[in-house]
A and B are shown apart, each in its own frame.
Chain A
Amino acid sequence: MAKPFEQIVTTHGAMVLRVCRAVVGPTDAEDAWSETFLAALRAYPELPADANIEAWLVTIAHRKAIDITRARARHAVPVAEPPDEPTEPTMAGRPDALDGELWRAVARLPDKQRTAVAYRYLAGLPYREIAEITGGSTDAARRAAADGVKALRTNVGGRS
C-alpha cells in the first residue's frame, strides 16, 4: 500500500531542499535535490512499507552530496581558504538571501558537524539514524551535532 510518490515529494520536498542547502551549499542544492528525488523515485516501489521515509531520503541525499562534492573537487580550481565575506552572487534575490549568514556559517563547519546538524535539526532524525548514515557511533553523532550548534551560535550574530 505505497502512497503515490507525489505525496512523498509534497511532504518531504522542503526538508530535503534545506538539508541539501546545508550539506552541499546553495549553488549545488538544487542539483542535489533533483538527483535525490529521481533516485528515490527509482527505488520507491521496493521500499519496505514500514521504512522511515525521512531517513531513507536523507540517506540518498547524503550519497548524492558526496558525489556532487567529489565532482566539484575534481573540476574546481582549488582555493586555499574561503573568503571571510563570500559574495555568493547566486544568492542574490533569493528568498533565502536573508539566511545567507546562517548558511555560510553552516558551510564553514567541518563535514561531520555540518551533516550531523543538518540531519538532526533540518531532517529531525534520531542520532542512531544519523550515525548509520554518516558512519561512526551514536554518541559521536550527538557530539558532532552539539559541537556544530555551538559553533553556529558563536558565528551567527544576534540569532540566539
Chain B
Amino acid sequence: MTELFDNLPTDEATTTRLRERLAAAAASEGLLDVAYRTVDTPIGPLLLAATEQGLLRVAFERQDHAAVLAGLADTVSPRILAAPARLDAVARQLDEYFTGDRRAFDLALDFRLTKGFRRAVLAHLMDIPYAATESYTQVATAAGSPKAVRAVGTACATNPLPVVVPCHRVIRADGSLSGYAGGPDAKRTLLTLEAA
C-alpha cells in the first residue's frame, strides 16, 4: 500500500537550512533555553552549551556529549538546539587560547550548575593567573575552608566549565598533576601550552 511513497528523496540541504532557521527563530522568540555546538581543539572536541545568561557547560569528549546534553535537558531545560551563533565568541576565544594568543577569557558565564562551596572554589580558580598553579590546600584556604581539601578536589572534578574556569591549574603540593575530567593528557597539554 505504501510503495507510492517509497524512494522519496531525503532532502538534506533543505533540512539543514530549516534547522538553522528554526534555531534563529527560537533564539529571537526567547525559546532557545540552551544552545550548543562543538569545537575541535588540541585536547579533542569540546561541547559548548550556553543559556541566554552565558556559557553554561564545557564538556570533554570522554564525558560523552550526548549524555551531557541529556543531563542539561533534565536539570536546565529540554529546549535545547544545536545553534552555533550564541557560541561564536566562546569558540573564537578558545581558538585564540589554544594558539597561545589569549591568556584570559572575557565571557559571560552561567554558574547555575554549581553552588555553595563548589561555586566559591570555582570563583577562586578564576583568580589563578595564566601559567600559574596552586595546590588543593592553597585553593581550600583561599575559598575559606582550609581543611576542605577533598571538597576542592570534588569541586574541580565537577567543574561545569573546564578550560574556561581553570581547574587544570590546581595540582598536588608535590607538583604531580593529579586527576582531570578531560584526562591526564589534556591537563598536561593545557599546562604545557600555558608554560610556553
Contact = CB atoms under 8 A, between A and B. Distances in A.
Interface of A: 1-6, 9, 13-14, 17-18, 30, 33-34, 37-38, 41-42, 44-45, 94-96, 98-99, 102, 121-122, 149, 152-153, 156, 159-160
B43 interface: no
Contacts of B26: 38, 41
Given A17-B11, A42-B31, A122-B5, 4 more contacts: A2-B74, A2-B78, A17-B18, A34-B18
Interface string B17-50: 0110110011001010010100000000000000
B25 A38 contact: yes
When A and B form their complex, which 7 residue pairs have the shortest distance between CB atoms, in order from nearest? A2-B78, A4-B80, A4-B73, A95-B9, A4-B69, A95-B11, A121-B2
Interface string B65-103: 000011011100111111000000000000000000000
Contact of A102 (B4, B11, B19): B4
Contacts of B8: 18, 96, 99
Interface residues of B, number: 33
15 contacts: A1-B73, A4-B34, A4-B69, A14-B15, A17-B18, A30-B18, A34-B25, A37-B18, A38-B29, A41-B26, A45-B77, A45-B78, A95-B9, A102-B4, A156-B4
A30 B15 CA distance: 9
A45 B34 CA distance: 13
B3 interface: yes
Contacts of B78: 2-5, 44-45
A32 B29 CA distance: 17
B69 A96 contact: no
Contacts of B2: 121
Contacts of B73: 1-4
A1 B74 contact: yes
Contacts of B22: 9, 34, 37-38, 41
Given A121-B4, A152-B4, A5 B14 contact: no
Contacts of A17: 11, 14-15, 18
B13 A41 contact: no
Nearest to A2: B78
Looking at B10, B19, B73, B78, the one whose CB has the most chain A CB atoms below 10 A away is B78
B1 interface: yes
Interface of B: 1-5, 8-11, 13-15, 18-19, 21-22, 25-26, 29, 31, 34, 36, 69-70, 72-74, 77-82
B3 A160 contact: yes
A159 B34 CA distance: 45
A65 to B, nearest CB: 16
B82 A6 contact: yes
A4 B70 contact: yes
Nearest to B16: A13
Contacts of B36: 6
Contacts of A160: 3-4
Contacts of A159: 3-4
B47 to A, nearest CB: 12
Nearest to B7: A99
B81 A9 contact: yes
